[in-house]
Amino acid sequence: MINRRKARELALQALFYMDMSQNDSKEAVKLFCENFVTSKKDLSFFFRLVNGVVKARPEIDSVVERFSSNWKISRMAIVDKNIIRIAVYEMLFCSDIPSKVSINEAIDIGKKFGTEESGAFINGILDSICIALKEEKKGVGAGLKPAPTNDTR
């Protein structure tokens, strides 16, 4: 049985590594897997998350900045930022995963790998995005298109 929590945690660690090394190539993912991924059964979901986040990063980051109370993504803690990216990827592109599951998993992983404030910070952003997604599905609200901003935080 696939352990999605473990795959999410590994995806977080891989994305953290890629951010720190400023290398989001397939070789970076391969190197990470050679050194840290121990279970082949978790690989499929792990690759789905990592490759999906890397591919959709500009769109994901734009959505996150729109709902992060004017915080620029570049100013967020790397752990929090990548946990949020994974959850937003799931919310936008994984219709088989309920948004509540993505949010709860992100909060729990944030509490494990982030700071004392990470859970609340992650919850606030993801909850706002979830509400906007629900409104968009109902045909209400402005949707999730990026809003222009002049904030430089």
pLDDT digits (tens, 9 = 90+) for 80-139: 999 999 999 999 999 999 999 999 999 999 999 999 999 999 999 999 999 998 888 777
Domains of the chain (ranges, CATH numbers): 4-138 (1.10.940.10)
As a whole number of Å, the end-to-end CA separation of the chain is 43
Identify the residue whose tokens are 């734009």. 62
Q: What is the pLDDT of residue 125?
A: 96
CA separation for the pair 82, 14 (Å, rounded): 10
Neighbours of 91 (CB within 10 A): 25
